[in-house]
């Protein structure tokens, strides 16, 4: 089946620093989604990417759909304490009739020291 490798698993940074995390896949995806999960809450959609090479921003967040369609990255600029949480990538392929299915990364735990 499809595999997603998300890295790093965790990051400890100082407030104000920039952050970068990425996901790589063993197969081609048609969609990349980035979510953030706060403690005790469900994942919240941050950015959705639908075309290879697409670069999309949402405030201080920027995500890109890799040209090979097998990777994506998320950048957070000028981090603030409320950026703390777990960030997940998710990809959707187009294998037969299972294009509804998302494959999830294991998440990146971000800690921001004020």
Residues of this chain that bind other proteins (CB under 8 A): 31, 33, 35, 40-45, 48, 50, 88, 90, 92, 99-102, 104-107
Nearest to other proteins of 60, 106 (CB atom): 106
Nearest to other proteins of 99, 113 (CB atom): 99
Min CB(101)–other proteins separation in Å: 7
Q: How far apart are CA 38 and CA 57, in angstroms?
A: 20
Task: Give yes or no for a contact between 44 and 86, defined as CB atoms under 8 angstroms apart.
Answer: no
Q: How far apart are CA 56 and CA 70, in angstroms?
A: 17
DSSP 8-class letter at 32 = E
Task: Give yes or no for a contact between 61 and 45, defined as CB atoms under 8 angstroms apart.
Answer: no
Min CB(16)–other proteins separation in Å: 30
Nearest to other proteins of 14, 41 (CB atom): 41
Min CB(61)–other proteins separation in Å: 16
Min CB(19)–other proteins separation in Å: 20
Torsion of CA 93, 46, 53, 16, to 10 degrees: -140
Nearest to other proteins of 42, 59 (CB atom): 42
Q: How far apart are CA 104 and CA 88, in angstroms?
A: 7
């Amino acid at each position: 089946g499809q595999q997603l490798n998300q890295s790093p698993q965790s990051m400890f940074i100082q407030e104000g620093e920039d952050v970068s995390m990425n996901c790589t896949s063993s197969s081609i995806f048609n969609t990349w989604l980035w979510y953030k999960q706060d403690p005790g809450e469900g994942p919240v959609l941050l950015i959705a990417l639908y075309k290879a090479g697409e670069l999309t921003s949402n405030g201080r967040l920027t995500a890109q759909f890799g040209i090979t369609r097998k990777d994506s990255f998320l950048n957070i600029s000028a981090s603030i304490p409320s950026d703390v949480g777990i960030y997940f990538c998710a990809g959707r392929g187009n294998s037969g009739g299972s294009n509804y299915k998302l494959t999830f990364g294991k998440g990146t735990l971000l800690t921001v020291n004020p």
